[in-house]
């Protein structure tokens, strides 16, 4: 065999006399004869690489990593101590012979210590990675939940705003490029305004122990107003927008947008006339079922108005202008169970075939003398498609 064979007596660190038989030969050949390489660190590095590849694999439980790393460490340690101890001893002997310094059996223990050190470090790293991954997962879950909650809240707010404001105004308020403190207002021409009040509701409203301090009276008023709202849901009244209800007075307007204003056929005015007639029928229906004798008084006018939204915290859409004042006066100066309209409204409705009677000239505060009319029935054109009062909550609750 080519190479150098050294036999050296040596004392171990424990004081034992040891014999070495170290051969530095052709490692290629020696490979086949047995493990006589003098650089077993290569194997150690290979094992460390295996351990690294196992440690960096993210999608593995740290406990599995711990078992794997411990298994590798244990297996290699057994090889170092029992089956391939000569490799490490030979290396130590070579170092000892070539340098004169060193200690036999050192590299075995150093190798095991290094492996143990790496195993501990990898396990700590694995535990930290797992903790971070779990935390990430929880945060993602929380973020997802919060995102969904925000979306629900946004949808709810959108619905709420759409209920408080007319659709076109709600769209404006929900748009992102709107300045927060910008006053929303628009001028609208030819808007048909209706005021409907139940003047004798105040006689009905009494606060007694028997009616829960007036709450039962308010419940009935609420049902009447809800019925009026419900009628507006009908397709033929889609041009009409409820403005508000104040006490027993209901206010609505038709033609507030270009889409709902019909300057040619004045369908928004005829819709309002039909709506006024429906309100009267509805109250009759309520009276029948609740054994009351409420009377409605309605006033209608047409003209230009300014529409806008007032308030930041509880924004309220409203309309203002002389036409609104006159419409309110048509109600307040009207008669019970009658629909009083101005001359402008009369001209439109008359042309559309609605039966109207002239009331004559009345004194209107702030406006002087005005000729007014009473709308007495449906248009001849629409008489066929008359409808019965809505199947209202009122009817159901007061039967």
Q: Which residues bind ligand ATP (CB under 6 A)?
A: 251, 318-320, 324-325, 328-329, 365-366
Q: For residues 104 and 309, which CB has a smaller minimum distance to ligand ATP in the complex? A: 309
We find the least distance from the C-beta atom of residue 319 to ligand ATP, in angstroms, to be 6
We find the least distance from the C-beta atom of residue 138 to ligand ATP, in angstroms, to be 54
Q: For residues 166 and 389, which CB has a smaller minimum distance to ligand ATP in the complex? A: 166
Q: For residues 47 and 326, which CB has a smaller minimum distance to ligand ATP in the complex? A: 326
The CA angle 311-246-156, to the nearest 5 degrees, is: 50
We find the least distance from the C-beta atom of residue 251 to ligand ATP, in angstroms, to be 6
Whether 295 is catalytic = no
Q: For residues 65 and 329, which CB has a smaller minimum distance to ligand ATP in the complex? A: 329
**What CA–CA distance (Å, rounded) separates 163 from 159?**
6
Whether 329 is catalytic = yes
Q: For residues 366 and 368, which CB has a smaller minimum distance to ligand ATP in the complex? A: 366
Contacts of the segment 32-35: beta carbons below 8 A, 24+ positions apart: 35/84, 35/86, 35/87
We find the least distance from the C-beta atom of residue 191 to ligand ATP, in angstroms, to be 12
We find the least distance from the C-beta atom of residue 325 to ligand ATP, in angstroms, to be 4
Contact assessment for residue 348 and residue 266, using Cβ atoms and an 8 Å cutoff: yes
Token couple for 87:
């490799």
Of the candidates 108, 278, 329, 378, the residue annotated as catalytic is 329
Contact assessment for residue 193 and residue 302, using Cβ atoms and an 8 Å cutoff: yes
Measured between alpha carbons, how far apart are the two ends of the chain, in Å? 118
CB neighbour list of residue 125: distance below 8 Å, 6 or more residues apart: 55
Contact assessment for residue 299 and residue 341, using Cβ atoms and an 8 Å cutoff: yes
Token couple for 180:
């927060």
Residue nearest to ligand ATP (CB): 328
Q: List the catalytic residues.
A: 329, 365
């Amino acid at each position: 065999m080519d190479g150098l064979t050294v036999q050296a007596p040596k004392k171990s660190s424990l004081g034992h006399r040891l014999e070495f038989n170290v051969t530095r030969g052709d490692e290629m050949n020696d490979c086949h004869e047995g493990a006589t390489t003098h650089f077993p660190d290569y194997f150690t590095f290979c094992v460390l690489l295996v351990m690294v590849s196992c440690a960096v694999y993210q999608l593995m439980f740290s406990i599995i990593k711990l078992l794997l790393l411990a298994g590798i460490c244990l297996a290699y340690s057994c090889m170092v101590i029992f089956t391939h101890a000569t490799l490490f001893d030979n290396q130590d002997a070579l170092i000892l012979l070539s340098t004169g310094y060193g200690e036999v059996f050192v590299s075995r223990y150093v190798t095991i210590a290094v492996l143990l050190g790496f195993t501990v470090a990898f396990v700590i790293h694995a535990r930290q990675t797992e903790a971070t991954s779990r935390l990430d997962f929880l945060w993602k879950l929380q973020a997802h939940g919060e995102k969904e909650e925000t979306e629900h809240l946004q949808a709810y707010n959108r619905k709420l705003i759409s209920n408080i404001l007319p659709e076109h105004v709600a769209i404006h308020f929900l748009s992102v490029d709107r300045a927060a403190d910008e006053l929303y207002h628009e001028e609208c021409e030819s808007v048909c305004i209706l005021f409907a009040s139940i003047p004798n509701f105040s006689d009905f409203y009494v606060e007694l122990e028997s009616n829960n301090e007036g709450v039962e009276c308010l419940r009935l008023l609420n049902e009447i107003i809800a019925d009026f709202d419900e009628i507006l849901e009908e397709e033929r009244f889609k041009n009409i927008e409820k403005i508000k209800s104040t006490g027993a007075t209901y206010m609505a307007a038709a033609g507030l947008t270009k889409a709902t204003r019909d300057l040619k056929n004045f369908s928004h005015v005829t819709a309002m006339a039909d709506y006024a007639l429906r309100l009267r029928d509805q109250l009759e229906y309520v009276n029948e079922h609740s054994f009351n004798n409420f009377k409605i008084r309605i006033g209608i006018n047409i003209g230009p108005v300014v529409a806008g939204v007032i308030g930041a915290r509880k924004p309220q859409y409203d309309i203002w202008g002389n036409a609104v004042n006159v419409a309110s006066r048509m109600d307040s100066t009207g008669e019970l169970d009658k629909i009083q309209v101005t001359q402008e409204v009369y001209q439109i409705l008359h042309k559309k075939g609605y039966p109207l009677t002239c009331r004559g000239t009345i004194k209107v505060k702030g406006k002087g003398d005005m000729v007014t009319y009473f709308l007495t029935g449906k248009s001849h054109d629409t008489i066929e498609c008359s409808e019965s009062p809505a199947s209202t909550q009122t009817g159901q609750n007061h039967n």
